[in-house]
């Protein structure tokens, strides 16, 4: 297994005035192709059942073996049911999961099978097991690979052909992105979570505002954010177009990773931490772009449209047409037509049909603690269907060990089995057409949670409050 050392193709200690992204990138450069991309060494490849089959077929067709199978970890998650895991009824999903298992057996790759204690959503399992470590380069055929950047790594989603590249050579050809630093300074108000911070940034920058950049999150609010909050924030980096989203490792990072299953142990841990402490942007580092926001300006948020950037504070109204640039009005009205909302409408009090807690965005133990803190001693609204889905079997066990499952059960909720679940319509947890879901997941695209389904993105606190009242509810008011 890789040790997470930043020293691959260079020495980070030689640098001055260099940002964190460049330190890690430069340490992994194998060669720079003239007038072309960089050949970058990859420490960790994650594979799941959806994007990997064609990559393995490419190797098979060319009679190539996996170059470093011990650097690859695979698990099914997208097609995994959350109500039972004895069988996948959908033939396509079942075939994908079976194919992943067969490919891992053939090529000697570590495989966390569905229903086993090691399984879960790949972007939840990787950090919690210490498979994702500071200073690493990490890739996966999944856009939300940016999640792993929260530990102080370069983590990027890649395409199927690129997965094949990494399997064959442990390297990838990539053009180096520009760098952006987003500072959040101050103290987040009560009821405001990392999810709200991400939705706020997207509303300010738009969903394409970080296209072509790797983003580093910094500032006092980030330093005071829990590790699980940082994972949520980095998870959503791709939703504003960013290639990667990373946070400098610190004592919060080290405490989270220490004693995890695959992290270094004993003297090796001490040596690793000393190296990881060098992973930060120098004081005089220059970024291609830098923006700063005040934490105090960020309230609990919800989306009203069909992209994560179309959002408002929960106590605000949807913009009126005159507030939208003329070039964007057609798209704005199209979004509202799909969502069955009106310009200027206030969404607080709008009835919801489904509530979803989970996904690689908010399927961690901290998210279930937050949800339970709102619903404790209350009852789920009869009109609401609620899916509460842990991001891994480890998280599910934490929920049980802490007695959170009892709080949820007494409030009328059922704890389901680890899965991507209702984040996307690739398993049985689909929201019916026309129904309105309030969800902790990462995307509210048209049909994302099911054909014709309508999705409001929100934090676990907002989803919990709405599940109790049956309407979009500000958690600060209950």
Q: Predicted confidence band at 35 (pLDDT cuts at 50, 70, 90)?
A: confident
Q: Do 349 and 283 share a structural domain? A: no
CA distance 112 to 10: 33
Find the mean pLDDT for residues 145-170. Answer: 98
Per-residue pLDDT tens digits for 237-256: 999 999 999 999 999 999 99
Dihedral class, residue 220 (left if φ above 0, else alpha if ψ from -120 to 50, else beta): alpha
Q: Is residue 201 part of a domain?
A: yes
Instruction: Residue 390: give its domain's CATH number.
Output: 3.30.499.10
- What share of the chain in percent tops pLDDT 70? 97
pLDDT at 1: 45
Distances (CA, A) of 386 to 269, 358, 463: 41, 11, 10
For residue 262, what are its two tokens? 């695959």
Cα angle, residue 267 at apex, residues 223 and 265 outer, rounded to 5°: 70
CA distance 160 to 52: 7
The residue among 292, 317, 345 that closes a domain is 292
pLDDT at 33: 87
Q: Is residue 150 part of a domain?
A: yes
The three-state DSSP-derived secondary structure of 378-416 is: CCCCCCCEEEECCCEHHHHHHHHHCCHHHHHHHCCCCEC
Beta-carbon contacts of 144 under 8 Å, excluding residues fewer than 6 positions away, are: 123, 157, 235, 238, 360, 361, 442
Max Cα distance, the chain (Å): 64
Q: Predicted confidence band at 402 (pLDDT cuts at 50, 70, 90)?
A: very high
Q: Do 469 and 364 share a structural domain? A: yes
pLDDT at 14 over 70: no
pLDDT at 6 over 50: no
Of the candidates 125, 124, 155, the residue with the CA atom closest to the CA atom of residue 141: 155
Find the mean pLDDT for residues 204-219. Answer: 96
CA distance 331 to 305: 10
| Average pLDDT of every residue of the chain | 96
pLDDT at 241: 96
Which is more confident, 13 or 314?
Answer: 314
Q: Do 309 and 288 share a structural domain? A: no
Q: Is residue 7 part of a domain?
A: no
Per-residue pLDDT tens digits for 90-140: 999 999 999 999 999 999 999 999 999 999 999 999 999 999 999 999 999
Q: Is residue 4 part of a domain?
A: no
The 8-class DSSP code of residue 351 comes to B
Q: Is residue 297 part of a domain?
A: no
For residue 157, what are its two tokens? 């989603």
CA distance 113 to 97: 9
pLDDT at 3: 52
Q: Do 314 and 237 share a structural domain? A: no
Of the candidates 203, 145, 201, 139, the residue with the CA atom closest to the CA atom of residue 171: 139
Q: Do 339 and 210 share a structural domain? A: no
pLDDT at 12 over 60: no
Q: Do 258 and 332 share a structural domain? A: no
Q: Where are the alpha helices (DSSP H) in 114-223?
A: 122-128, 160-169, 194-205, 220-223
Q: Do 200 and 116 share a structural domain? A: yes
Q: Is residue 3 part of a domain?
A: no
- What share of the chain in percent tops pLDDT 90? 96
Per-residue pLDDT tens digits for 412-459: 999 999 999 999 999 999 999 999 999 999 999 999 999 999 999 999
Q: Is residue 6 part of a domain?
A: no
Q: Are strands 72-74 and 154-157 parallel, antiparallel or unpaired?
A: unpaired
Which of 3-7, 64-68, 264-268 has the least mean pLDDT? 3-7
Backbone φ and ψ of 200, nearest 5°? -65, -45
Q: Which domain holds residue 469?
A: 302-477
Q: Do 235 and 111 share a structural domain? A: yes
Determine contact, residues 227/150, Cβ cutoff 8 Å: yes
The residue among 292, 325, 345 that closes a domain is 292
Q: Do 360 and 325 share a structural domain? A: yes
Determine contact, residues 204/289, Cβ cutoff 8 Å: no
Find the mean pLDDT for residues 380-396. Answer: 98
Q: Do 319 and 271 share a structural domain? A: no
Q: Is residue 131 part of a domain?
A: yes
Of the candidates 412, 411, 397, 407, the residue with the CA atom closest to the CA atom of residue 365: 397
Q: Do 63 and 170 share a structural domain? A: yes
For residue 287, what are its two tokens? 């970024």
Distances (CA, A) of 79 to 47, 120, 163: 14, 11, 20
The residue among 243, 274, 292 that closes a domain is 292
The 8-class DSSP code of residue 476 comes to G
pLDDT at 15: 46
Q: Do 236 and 380 share a structural domain? A: no
Domain count for the chain: 2
pLDDT at 16: 63
For residue 301, what are its two tokens? 């948020």
Distances (CA, A) of 219 to 181, 216, 404: 10, 10, 32
CA distance 301 to 197: 9
pLDDT at 13: 47
CA distance 46 to 142: 9
Q: Which residues of 378-407 are buried (b: 16+ CB within 10 A; e: fewer)?
A: bebbeebbbbbbbbbbbbbebbeeeebbeb
């Amino acid at each position: 297994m890789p040790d997470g050392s930043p020293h691959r193709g260079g020495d980070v200690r030689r640098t001055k005035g260099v940002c964190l992204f460049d330190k890690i990138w430069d340490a992994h450069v194998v060669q720079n192709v003239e007038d072309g991309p960089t050949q970058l060494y990859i420490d960790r490849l994650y594979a799941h059942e959806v994007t990997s089959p064609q990559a393995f077929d490419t190797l098979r067709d060319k009679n190539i073996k996996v170059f470093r199978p011990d650097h690859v970890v695979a698990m099914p998650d997208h097609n995994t049911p959350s109500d039972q895991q004895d069988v996948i009824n959908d033939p396509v999903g079942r075939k994908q999961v079976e194919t992943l298992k067969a490919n891992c057996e053939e090529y000697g790759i570590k495989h966390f099978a569905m229903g086993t204690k090691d399984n879960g959503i790949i972007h939840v399992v990787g950090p919690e097991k210490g498979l994702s470590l500071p200073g690493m380069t990490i890739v996966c055929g999944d856009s939300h690979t940016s999640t792993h950047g929260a530990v102080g790594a370069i983590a990027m989603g890649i395409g199927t052909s690129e997965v094949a590249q990494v399997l064959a050579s442990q390297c990838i050809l990539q053009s180096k992105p520009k760098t952006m630093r987003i500072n959040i300074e101050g103290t987040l108000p009560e009821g405001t979570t990392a999810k709200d911070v991400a939705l706020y940034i997207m509303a300010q920058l738009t969903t394409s505002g970080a296209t072509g950049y790797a983003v580093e999150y910094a500032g006092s609010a980030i330093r005071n954010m829990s590790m699980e909050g940082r994972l949520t924030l980095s998870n959503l980096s791709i939703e504003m177009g960013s290639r990667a989203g990373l946070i400098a490792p610190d004592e919060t990072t080290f405490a989270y990773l220490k004693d995890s299953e695959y992290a270094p142990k004993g003297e090796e841990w001490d040596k690793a931490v000393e190296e990881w402490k060098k992973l930060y942007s120098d004081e005089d580092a220059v970024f291609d772009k830098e923006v700063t926001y005040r934490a105090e300006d960020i309230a609990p948020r919800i989306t009203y449209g069909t992209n994560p950037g179309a959002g408002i504070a929960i106590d605000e109204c949807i913009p009126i047409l005159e507030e939208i640039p003329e070039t964007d009005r057609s798209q704005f009205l199209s979004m509202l037509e799909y969502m069955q909302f009106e310009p200027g409408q206030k969404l607080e009090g709008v009835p919801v049909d489904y509530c979803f807690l989970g996904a690689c965005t908010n399927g961690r133990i901290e998210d279930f603690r937050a949800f339970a803190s709102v619903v404790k001693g209350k009852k789920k609204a009869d009109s609401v269907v609620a899916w509460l889905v842990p991001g891994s079997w480890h998280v599910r066990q934490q929920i049980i060990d802490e007695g959170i499952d009892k709080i949820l059960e007494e409030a009328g909720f059922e704890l389901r089995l680890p899965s991507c679940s209702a984040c996307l319509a690739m398993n049985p947890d689909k929201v019916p057409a026309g129904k309105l879901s309030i969800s902790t997941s990462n995307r509210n695209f048209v049909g994302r949670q099911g054909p014709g389904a309508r999705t409001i993105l929100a934090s676990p606190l907002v989803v919990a409050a709405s599940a109790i009242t049956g309407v979009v509810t500000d958690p600060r008011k209950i």
